Structure 1
C-alpha cells in the first residue's frame, strides 16, 4: 500500500482514536498505528487486504445470480408436479467467506443494507458457503440465460440449471 506521509499520519491518528473509542480492541489498533507510522511495507500489505475491490461486471454477476435463484424459486412454486425436486435443492448457499469474500460482502450489502433479495439471507452460516461457488454460479447462469422463459422454467430446465 502506497501512502504519503500525510496519509500515514491521518491513518495512524485514526487508529489511535479507534483504540481510545474501543478499549476492547485497543491492542489491535495500537499495532496497526505502529505499522502505519513505521511504514512497514510487509505489514502494510495486511491493510490492503481490508480494501477489496469488486468490479462492475462482478457486481452484475452477483445480482444476476440472485435473480436466477429468485426465478428458480418462483418457477418451482408454479410447478404442478414437484415430486422429482425438493425445495432444499433450490436454496442459495452464498459465497465462500475466505476465497470469495468480496462477493459475500457485496451479497450482504445488497441484502442487508439495500434490503433486496431478503429471502436469500435464510442461507446457513450468514451465506458463507464454506466452499467456492463463483464458477458453479457462472455455469448455472449460462444455462439459465439460454432458457427461453427465464421466469417460467420447467422441471427439466430447473434441473439442468442446478446440475450445470
Structure 2
C-alpha cells in the first residue's frame, strides 16, 4: 500500500540512527552541514547571470551569435542612422536631385552650437571618409562628397543612365 511505501522510503532515507546521531551531536551536525553548504557554494564564484536574449536563446558559437558580436563591435550602440526621404512623382529629375543636393550641403555644413562639432566630426567613418547612403553618392568624389559641378550638369537621361548603372552594379 501507499503508506507502507512511505514508511519504507522514510526508513531508507531517514533511518533512526541518523536522527539519533543528530540529536546526540547537534553542534557537529551544524558544523558538518555548514561545511558541506559552504563547499558547494564555491561554485557561485563562476556564476554569471545574463539578460541578453540572443545569448540565452542561441547556442554558443552559432553564426547568429558571432554576427551579433561583430555588429556590436563595429556599430556602437550610441550611433544613430538618420534618413531623409524625398517624395515626388519622379524623384529622378534634375530639379529633385539638385534639391536633394542642397539639403545634403546644408547638413554637411551644420555646426553644433553646444559642442562646436561639424558633420565631419560626428559622422560614421570608414578610415578616410564619412559613410553616406544616398543617391547622390553616384556622383560623389573620392571623399564621398557629391560633386556640385557634376550634379548641376545633369539632365534626366544622364540621371536615369547613372542610376540604372549603379543599380546593376549592386
TM-score range, shorter chain: under 0.3
Query: Which structure is richer in relative contact order (CA contacts within 8 A, separation 6 or more)?
Result: 1
Which protein is richer in helix relative to its size?
1
What TM-score do you get using the length of structure 2 for normalisation?
Answer: 0.23
What TM-score do you get using the length of structure 1 for normalisation?
Answer: 0.23
